[in-house]
Amino acid sequence: MKKYCFLLLCCFFLIPKSSQASCTPPEIVTLVQESGNQFLLNWIDFNGENTQESATILINIQLCSGISIQEAYEIFPLVHSYFDFTTDPDWVIASITAVVVYTCEDGSTANPSIPAILEFDDCAPCVGIPDVNIPEIGFSCDRAGLLCVVIDGVNQADEASSIYQVCDIGGNDTAGACYNLSTLPDGASSLQVTLCEWRTGGCENQACCVVVDVAVPVCEDNCPELPFTIDWCCSFDGTHACLCLHTEDGTIPIWDINDTGYWVSDMNIPGNCITNLDLPPVFTPVTLVINNRDNTCSQTVTIPGPDCWTIDDDGGNFQDGGVIGLNAHDAHSSNENTIELFPNPATEIITLENSFNEAINYEIIDAQGKYLKRGNMKVGDTQLSIQDYEPGVYFLKYKNTQHETRTLRFVKI
């Protein structure tokens, strides 16, 4: 069996028709999906006098992205009246069309058969409908001389976890997660970022794209000095270490950072507080990214891990003293605005632990951007079945009480 690929759809059906062919095309052609990406083409020939020697199977696969893929297979000698074929499991297919063309024993070519067509309902509309499902997008300054796109809190230069591919920043027509600051026009306060869905071909096809104006931050070298320093506070109950801000007016827990005109956009620990069971060694660095309120300035702060191994009876201060103690209620409050997902990876069930003071809406999206589930997680634990999901990467999106979109990534195995 020989296989050929055709570049143009027009070539697919423009097979020369011969009125003098010594054989006739099959009367009935059917195409069925056997399973997943496995398909079976059958044909029936009622003409007992046919003298066909071989057959060419022409297949056109129309993807949801708008891309057409044409393939041709030659079957010689022609023994059976069926043909099995497979498609790429990563393709999201809109339709498959197949025809059979006989080559007669005398070398003439019969007319093509009537096409067999199989259509699918897998083509979801674009996720990024205007004003709906648009991700939270910003820039990070953590790479010298570059502005890197951050989507829903994830720096795309570190991990391309979004359903979108970054296709253009500032009109440079170059796909990539980062923009060279040396090319930034004088006085520019924002840049247009074009994002296209991976599911529909990403930057190559640009079938489902959104264009977002993103504010240009003042990177760290030009940012004003932070009006506070960051350190650890040890709790009264001896079980929590929490991040604290030292300001001119005193020490406050980090969850009150909004009062200073700043917020924490990223950190390398799971929350504002950790327990003494999770305390890293004092030399383990903790990194926080601090943004001002309008996200025009981003600064990275690195501090040692907490030195809270020794808890005294007067409130558990650091060994070098001088910081506040936090009681158990304060430590719990610091974690009220969190959603925890476990286990990860998972096989059948994931648990969502909602520490907000209210129910939170959520959405589960697959790696192709298809919405699989929408629901409401109650306060406390919510269990979700994922046993019907295919193995792979999935995303759980929710909005916190400040209407900020957050994304959790989990793996089904």
Q: What is the pLDDT of residue 323?
A: 35
Q: Hey, what are 377's tokens? A: 């997680």
- Judged against a pLDDT cut of 60, whether residue 347 lies above it is answered with yes
Percent of the chain whose pLDDT exceeds 70: 76
- Judged against a pLDDT cut of 50, whether residue 314 lies above it is answered with no
Of 90-94, 173-177, 280-284, give the lowest mean pLDDT range: 280-284
- Judged against a pLDDT cut of 80, whether residue 396 lies above it is answered with yes
SS3 of 183, please? helix
Q: Hey, what are 150's tokens? A: 């951050």
Domain contains 127? no
Residues 35, 86, single domain; the answer is: yes
Residues 228, 326, single domain; the answer is: yes
Domain contains 155? yes
Residue 210 lies in domain: 137-216
Residues 188, 162, single domain; the answer is: yes
Residues 324, 343, single domain; the answer is: no
**Mean pLDDT along residues 99-118:** 91
**Selection from 358, 247, 245, 241 nearest residue 310 by Cα:** 241
Q: What is the pLDDT of residue 221?
A: 63
Q: What is the pLDDT of residue 368?
A: 63
Domain limit, last residue, from 186, 216, 246 = 216
**Number of structural domains in the chain:** 4
Alpha carbon distance, N-terminus to C-terminus of the chain: 37
**Mean pLDDT along residues 364-368:** 75
Q: How far apart are CA 86 and CA 339, in angstroms?
A: 41
Mean pLDDT of the chain: 77
pTM for the full predicted model: 0.36
Residues 62, 80, single domain; the answer is: yes
Residues 99, 195, single domain; the answer is: no
Q: What is the pLDDT of residue 371?
A: 79
Residues 245, 308, single domain; the answer is: yes
Of 44-48, 263-267, 343-347, 360-364, give the lowest mean pLDDT range: 44-48
**Mean pLDDT along residues 133-142:** 77
Candidate ranges 11-20, 292-301, 338-347; pick with highest mean pLDDT: 338-347
What's the gap between Cα 116 and its chain centre? 35
Give pLDDT tens digits for 165-213.
888 998 876 668 888 887 888 888 899 999 888 777 778 777 778 888 8
**Selection from 41, 88, 36, 80 nearest residue 61 by Cα:** 88
Domain contains 228? yes
